[in-house]
Structure 1
């Protein structure tokens, strides 16, 4: 059987929702609902998720970023998707999103007395009915080998940083690289931890003809990752011949 049918994480399309909103809007709304169910970010008694348009585009590579922006804007204008800015830095323009489950209940003909999701992530009354009718439950993590962890783990940013620091050209899409980074991420290590290990080992190995070949994902993100992370920065020992004593 073709790997295209079993290896990719599926995108859900709910026919009844697509009829009411359009296919693009139905797909995006379902995906936002999926992440809201998993989200732990609570603002004003609502769950929120945050993503740039580029981040959303990684989840929907079959659309252009412009089409995706247009779809999200359409959902915002209808009031089904709510957006806000909760970022600490004014320079960070990443938008936060949530769904108006009450309006979804109205859309489904359930009336206007639905209750909004509360802090524990549950939905009561007609809003829950709308969720059951129009939106599916979260896709189980075991549905495919390529789980949704790939969406939120910054694989590209990590490998791009490695390439910048070492002058390499590793691809973030390599399966083994994905597995290594995902393993470390699932152990609780962060993007900053990954960058710190890259910095530490680049400072130690980059200019050594023998060791610089080990500035690669297999070594940096392997089983010794934690020991690399906890090592002290290497201080350069200056030799007399490195100084120009005639100056």
Structure 2
């Protein structure tokens, strides 16, 4: 008997009630796969986790579905409100869609399904009643069973450096140092954001060095320094570069000191206005009398033989 196609590879499972709600088993599998990667994604925006891929890369995970059909399935799920799309790509020309699941909508669907199941089950059937009780206690099951693994993830190449989706289960309680750092980095004065990678390494080292070095404490320290800059009227050139501050987060600043007096009086310079000679009238000596004028012309005539 040839059993090469009978569960010889990790299967992909879906909830039949979800497939019935969506009208397609393929759509149910897409939603299940999105859920799997969302649980392992470190891409957080607007308080939600997101995953992204191009349709070509998604097609590698659902190779039995035509690309055009797969694109239509994603569009249908988005139009139906089951998934929400976004664009958080750094490059403006990159139109790769990011997705997250609207879990609130799925919860409403799960509640509606369980309510319908309760109505449909005969009250005198104890075995069915027990099954119904089991269904009531669980929401729409879209988690991947432990004995089943999803299709390996294919990450979009142009934004691969931002994608930290992992193939193994993550410790979700572990602090995300990079996310914390980016929050602090955005608060730092714009003109002094130098040495981001060095600053990140310094922050991680500080966080790991002692239990009291928490994200909350880092925010308090940065708030104190920003207040110090404002109170003391620190000029931009004297504000610490970001890489320096992150390397010395525990430094203390006296924010209670009175502001530095910078009420300088401007130096008053007297500027003499130059003379506009084009508007000056020539000085004329009108003190010559008639006799002097007569003698002048007589001498002129004699010298030039005009007499």
TM-score, normalization by structure 2: 0.39
Return the structure number with greater relative CO, CA threshold 8 A, min gap 6: 2
TM-score, normalization by structure 1: 0.48
Q: Which of structures 1 and 2 has the bigger CA Rg?
A: 2
